[in-house]
Each structure stands twice: as structure tokens, then as C-alpha cells.
Amino acid sequence: MRRPRIGVTLDLDLARGRYELPRGYADAVLAAGGLPVPLPYGDASVAAAYLALVDGLVLSGGDFDVDPAQYGETRRRGCGQAKPERTAFEWALCDAALAGRIPLLGVCGGMQLLNVVRGGTLYQDLRDDLGVDGHEQPPPKDVPHHAVEIVPGSLLASLVGTERLDVGSTHHQAVREPGGGVLVSARAPDGVVEAVELPDLPFALGVQWHPEAAAARSTRQAAIYRGLVDAARDLRR
């Protein structure tokens, strides 16, 4: 049986002219039974063509922020650099995937983008906007840094259970107002949103942490990628 093809968005190092992706994404997709397909950005108009090649989608994280103009705000102190081309490409991918009910996993910034695409907003900087510290994890990045509380009955709970889950995450932004149809399915002890999902779709999940970084040694983290691949397999059938 053919492995479900899972598109994974790439970052771009402009200075060196190289597309990049942490190895953990590909390893997690492969271990879950999928086939990772790298998706280089640069032209939002071809997003639908890329999406036609895959059965599922991962919006990966990256060291940049969604432009606050995308959710109706002006840039404030603490907001980081934007990557307009990447955001435009991933926005088009996300929008088309949701419309086509294609299984989607948003990781870190990918979760934030998912929320914004659905009309939600972000804290531009947790320290400035909310007075919260402790979400920019120091190295090593693959070691759990804090726990999250999972909402019973959610898609996330069906994958990892409802017990507190230890996660590793590095982010200075977070979901502020959930978008239309967006369910918050996990929070950190300080109340910061750590996972969102769209219950009206078969599989549309965003997590603020990096499950691929711990998937090799944590069955609960690996279950998130297995859920994506299983949903992609069901869609293809």
C-alpha cells in the first residue's frame, strides 16, 4: 500500500540561498507511515498545485512572525521579523487544505498561522502583551520544558490522552483570540494556548510545541504524527 504523501513546508535561508527543514519533521512523518514531501515556498500561486500532490500537510515552524497586519493590528514593540513570501505561500496552502478537508498539522508558527487564517489574533509578544515569560525554551530544544493541560473530548485528547503532557516549545507569540470555529484544546499552566483544532474538519490540528523533536522517544508525541498520517490515509481511500 502506498504511503500517504505528507507535504512539509520549508524555510529559506536568504543569505545562503538554501531551503531548510529540521530533520525531525521528516523522521516523524516516516516513522508514522507517511512519505514526507518537501514544499519550497516562493510563489503562492502554485500552492494549490503542490497541494494536489499530497494527502496531508504540515505547516512547519520557523524563526519569524506573522505580520500583525494579517490580523488587523499594527506592529508593536516585541514583534519579530516577518517573512511575507513564506506567510503568503503557507496561507494559500492552509486555506486550500481547509477548504478541501485535507488533513493538516500546524506546528509552532504553523499553529499560529492556522488561527489567523480562520480570523483569529495573536499576542505579538507574550512578555509585552500578557506579562508572561518562560515560553522561549533554551537549548536543548528536544527536552520537555513545561506541561500542557489537554481538553477532554478533543481531537488532541483522542491522540495523546488527557493526562498532562510534557512538551518542548520556543515561542514569544501565542493565540490571543481563537478564529472562527477554532477550539482551544490545550493550555500551559499559565493559561497560554498550546493547541487548537477545528472540530468541523476530519483532522485540522495546531500545536505550539514541536512533537517531532520528541517523537522518537515519546509515544504520545509520535501519536500526533500518526494521527495526521492515518487521517491522510483515510482521505485517500
> Which listed residue (90, 194, 197, 212) is catalytic?
212
> Which listed residue (108, 135, 172, 194) is catalytic?
108
Overall number of domains in the chain? 1
37-52: per-residue pLDDT in tens? Answer: 999 998 899 999 999 9
The pLDDT value given to residue 11: 95
CA–CA separation, 35 and 60 (whole Å): 16
136: annotated active-site residue = no
130-141: per-residue pLDDT in tens? Answer: 988 878 777 776
> Which listed residue (135, 145, 171, 210) is catalytic?
210
Residue 29 gets which letter from DSSP? Answer: H
Q: Would you say residue 71 has pLDDT above 90? A: yes
Question: Strands 35-39, 183-187: parallel, antiparallel or unpaired by DSSP?
Answer: unpaired
Q: Give the confidence band of 237 by pLDDT, cuts at 50, 70, 90.
A: confident
CATH number at residue 43: 3.40.50.880
194-206: per-residue pLDDT in tens? Answer: 999 999 999 999 9
149: annotated active-site residue = no
Closest CA to 185 of 169, 168, 209: 209
* Mean pLDDT to the nearest integer, 29-36: 98
Domain that holds residue 221: 5-236
| pTM recorded for the entire structure | 0.96
212: annotated active-site residue = yes
Secondary structure of 148-170 in the HEC alphabet? Answer: EEECCCCHHHHHHCCCCEEECCE
